[in-house]
Chain A
Amino acid sequence: MSCSRMENRILGYVDGRLRESERLEVEKHLAGCAACRLRVNEFRAVSSLLDELPVIEPSPAFDLRVHARVAAVPVKQSWWTWFPAPRVALAAAVLALATVWVGTRPNNPPQIAQDDIPVLENLDVLSNFDVLTELPQPVQADDGGQTNPQM
């Protein structure tokens, strides 16, 4: 392996992230290359120095701020939400159907039985028929409301 090919592997070697075959290849090169050995040692030192930086903690109000921002996110409404609740929808549908049914129903006049037609044709004559006025008026029965149709 050449020194230039070491460039892509040296950091992986320092961090122990190389596959076994790659590690052995790197070590074989290092055994014969003082410059790369020095670089490995210096990269190890750099890596170790980077470990010295302390970890900072988020401020106590951090969570509150995140939750406040999340709470302010408007709720997405899908098109389903525009539909009313099932019971309201059912009632509306029944009402609509009833309206349509009533609106389309034929508006027929009251039916007159065929047997009644001759009587009606003579209605004027019958209403002015004097003989009928001469008939005795019905008498109220004493036994509590019963009438005598024969008189």
Chain B
Amino acid sequence: MARSDVQLMLDVKAGDEQSFTLLLHRYRTPLVNFLYRMVRSREQAEDLAQEVFLRVYKAREDYVPSAKFTTWLFRIATNLALNSVRDTRYQRMEISLDAPVTVGTEEGEEKTLDVAEKNPNIEQHLVEETRKKMIRHAIEKLPEKQRAAVLLHKYQELDYGEISKILQCSESALKSLLFRAYETLRVELAPLVAQHGK
């Protein structure tokens, strides 16, 4: 039977390095994805995820299982992400809104849409990529705290209690935050929402 997160962390505290590796394998992908969607840069997301694991390791001797491990883990990650986003906000503002529409892949490689696509399969692929890009942009445009709430709720499937502890707000405030975020997404993604309803 797989050991729980808390048990693994207690084993790390007792000096078992292998348990740390197991935690790393269990949470590296969710963390990198969460951070990638928060900071919009894969390289930066990986740097921050490494920092999260480093902080977990450094704090091992003082670890007390008073809350769920994921709450602690994503609280560290969220704080790092929010700080990083605030630090780079002005750099982001330099990105021109008039930049040509591009089709991006998740790895950050982008192709411009003006490449003539005669093959229907490629055209379909471009349509799908454009759709994904719209969704990513809609998430990116959310205020940081709303974005974090949506990502933790939708992709990490954390419950309201956990997310409210991570974001340090009440459950009621969190529900309101999520409602406003979904309202914004509903407007931003209106063309896709309308297609979805058909």
A62 contacts across to B, CB distance below 8 A: 28, 32, 46, 49-50
Taken together as a complex, chains A and B put the C-alpha atoms of A46 and B197 apart, in Å, by 11
Residue total for A at the interface (Cβ-Cβ under 8 A): 35
> Is A63 part of the contact surface with B, judged by Cβ < 8 Å?
yes
Task: Report whether A17 and B159 are in contact in the complex, using a CB–CB cutoff of 8 Å.
Answer: yes
> Is A54 part of the contact surface with B, judged by Cβ < 8 Å?
yes
Chain B interface helix/strand/loop/mixed? helix
B49 contacts across to A, CB distance below 8 A: 58, 62
Among candidates B20, B54, B132, residue contacting A53 with C-beta atoms closer than 8 Å: B132
Chain A interface helix/strand/loop/mixed? helix
B53 contacts across to A, CB distance below 8 A: 66, 69-70
Task: Report whether B28 and A52 are in contact in the complex, using a CB–CB cutoff of 8 Å.
Answer: no
B interface, CB within 8 angstroms of A: 20-21, 24-25, 28-29, 32-33, 36-37, 42, 46, 49-50, 53-54, 57-58, 61, 106-107, 131-132, 135-136, 139, 150, 153-155, 159-160, 172, 175-176, 178-179, 182, 185-186, 189, 192-193, 196-197
Given contacts A52-B131, A76-B61, are A69 and B193 in contact (CB under 8 A)?
no
B33 contacts across to A, CB distance below 8 A: 55-56
The smallest C-beta distance from A60 to any residue of chain B, in angstroms, reads 11
Task: Report whether A46 and B185 are in contact in the complex, using a CB–CB cutoff of 8 Å.
Answer: yes
B24 contacts across to A, CB distance below 8 A: 63, 66
B178 contacts across to A, CB distance below 8 A: 11
> Is A147 part of the contact surface with B, judged by Cβ < 8 Å?
no
> Is A91 part of the contact surface with B, judged by Cβ < 8 Å?
no
The smallest C-beta distance from A2 to any residue of chain B, in angstroms, reads 14
- Chain B minimum-CB-distance residue to A45: B196
Query: What are 30 sample pairs from A and B whose C-beta atoms fall under 8 A apart?
Result: A7-B179, A11-B175, A11-B178, A12-B175, A17-B160, A39-B186, A41-B197, A42-B186, A43-B182, A43-B186, A45-B193, A45-B197, A46-B185, A50-B185, A52-B132, A53-B37, A53-B135, A56-B36, A57-B29, A58-B29, A58-B46, A62-B28, A63-B24, A63-B25, A65-B50, A69-B50, A69-B54, A70-B20, A73-B57, A73-B58
Known: A8-B175, A69-B53, A76-B61. 9 other contacts (CB 8 A): A42-B193, A42-B197, A48-B196, A49-B192, A53-B139, A57-B32, A58-B32, A66-B24, A73-B58
